[in-house]
Amino acid sequence: MARESASFFRPPAEEPPGPFLWYALQVRTRYERVVAEYLSGLDYEWFLPLCKDRKRWSDRVKQVELPLFPGYLFCRFDVQSRLPILKTPGVVQIVGYNRQPVPVDESEMAAIQTLVSSGVPNQLCSFVEIGDRVQIESGPLRGLEGILIESRGRHKLVLSVTLLQRSVAVEIDSMSVTPISSNPCDATGRVSEAEPVAV
């Protein structure tokens, strides 16, 4: 089910003294907001993308905000001074390779921030690196690049955070995009059966 994006973001009180990069923090389940509030007290810039979803109980339906990437949030900081981050209650680790923190790609961060701020309904999907790479030419998501896929007869744009191996799909009008490069898809634009995509 498509969900409306929301944002939970805190910029720093002052500009950081250097060009710090964004890193992904893996946190304990349901501790995303707790960690974000703690980082606020330390004056870090952080970004917790949320999505609005409807939860049905026996007597009512309620709209709730959930993390777009459960168990993760993003923070901009000096990686050489990361000890306060690692000591933050609820933080499991800074995402990286071989125990070394790896920054999130700036273009991927910008794309997720644009999607969240647009309020366009979206849904989580399996991480993909296949299909036709396209750019949106009009509308609130103009300028974003992603992978074009087809699911249940509808065209969707997939935005990915490579470091987290997570993707988000948003339904789009295929007439509003232009191709950037071609990848192995069949003539209909569907991803081949050898490369399954769950949306």
Query: What are the sequence ranges of the domains in the chain?
Result: 3-104, 117-181
Mean local confidence (pLDDT), 147-157: 80
Q: What distance in Å separates the CA atoms of residue 24 and residue 64, rounded to the nearest whole number?
A: 23
Decide which of 91 and 60 is more confident: 91
Contact assessment for residue 192 and residue 175, using Cβ atoms and an 8 Å cutoff: no
What is the CATH code for 117-181? 2.30.30
Nearest Cα to Cα of residue 4 among 69, 74, 66, 57: 66
Mean local confidence (pLDDT), 44-52: 91
- Asked whether the whole model's pTM tops 0.75, one would answer no
Mean local confidence (pLDDT), 11-17: 52
Nearest Cα to Cα of residue 46 among 99, 2, 90, 1: 90
CATH superfamily label, 3-104:
NusG, N-terminal domain (3.30.70.940)
pLDDT in tens, 88-141: 999 999 999 988 999 999 999 999 999 988 888 877 766 655 467 888 888 888
